[in-house]
C-alpha cells in the first residue's frame, strides 16, 4: 500500500515541471532563455585590402607527387558602419579545374577581418593558358546582398 507522502511527491514534481514549462513558454510571458541575436541581419561597408594580385598561383606538390596546388589567397577586408550582423561571403571558382570554394564570416564589429579559403589540390595537367578564376565578395543579410568585388584573374604556375 502507498502512503500519502509517496503519492504527493511525484504529483508535486509534475506540478512544478508543468508550471515551469508554462511560465517559460511563449504563453507564460516569462522567457527563461535569453533571445539570441539574429544571424545575417544587417549591413556593413567593406573595403577589400587583399587579394590584389592579377593572378592565382599554382605550385608543384612536394616529394615528386603528381599533384599541384592552387594557392587561393585569403580575403582581407576593412569593415566599417556595421549595423546588425551581416556576413561576408568569399567565393573562388575555377571552372576549367572544377574548383568551387567558399568561406564566410559573421561581421560583428568594425575593423579588419580575414576570410581564408584552403588551397586546392589538382592532378598535374597541361598548360594553364587561358585558365581564369573568378573572385567574388558579398555582404549578405536576410534582407539582401551587396557585391563588393567580382573580378576575374589568371591562373598561373609559379
104, 114 contact by CB (below 8 A) = no
For 34, the grid coordinates are: 535569453
Q: If we measure between CA atoms, which residue out of 10, 8, 28, 31 comes closest to residue 19?
A: 28
Please give the model's pTM, rounded to 2 decimal places: 0.72
pLDDT tens digit sequence for 5-15: 555 767 777 76
| Cα(150)–Cα(136) distance, integer angstroms | 4
Q: How is the chain split into domains, by residue range?
A: 1-35, 41-157
Provide the pLDDT confidence category of residue 26 given band limits of 50, 70 and 90.
Answer: low
pLDDT at residue 128 in the model: 79
Distances (CA, A) of 104 to 2, 15, 22, 37, 140: 61, 46, 39, 18, 10
Decide if pLDDT at 4 tops 50: yes
Provide the pLDDT confidence category of residue 158 given band limits of 50, 70 and 90.
Answer: confident
Decide if pLDDT at 60 tops 60: yes
- Main-chain phi, psi angles of 36, to 5 degrees: -80, 145
**Fold exhibited by the domain 41-157:** Immunoglobulin-like (2.60.40)
pLDDT at residue 34 in the model: 52
Amino acid at each position: 500500500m502507498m502512503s500519502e507522502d509517496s503519492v504527493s511527491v511525484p504529483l508535486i514534481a509534475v506540478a512544478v515541471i508543468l508550471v515551469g514549462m508554462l511560465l517559460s513558454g511563449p504563453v507564460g510571458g516569462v522567457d527563461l532563455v535569453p533571445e539570441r541575436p539574429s544571424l545575417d541581419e544587417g549591413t556593413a561597408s567593406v573595403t577589400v585590402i587583399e587579394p590584389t594580385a592579377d593572378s592565382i598561383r599554382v605550385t608543384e606538390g612536394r616529394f615528386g607527387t603528381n599533384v599541384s596546388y592552387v594557392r587561393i589567397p585569403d580575403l582581407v577586408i576593412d569593415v566599417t558602419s556595421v549595423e546588425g550582423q551581416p556576413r561576408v561571403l568569399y567565393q573562388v571558382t575555377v571552372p576549367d579545374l572544377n574548383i568551387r570554394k567558399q568561406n564566410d564570416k559573421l561581421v560583428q564589429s568594425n575593423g579588419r577581418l580575414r576570410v581564408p579559403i584552403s588551397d586546392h589540390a589538382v592532378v598535374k595537367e597541361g598548360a594553364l593558358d587561358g585558365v581564369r578564376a573568378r573572385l567574388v565578395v558579398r555582404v549578405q543579410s536576410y534582407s539582401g546582398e551587396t557585391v563588393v568585388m567580382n573580378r576575374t584573374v589568371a591562373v598561373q604556375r609559379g
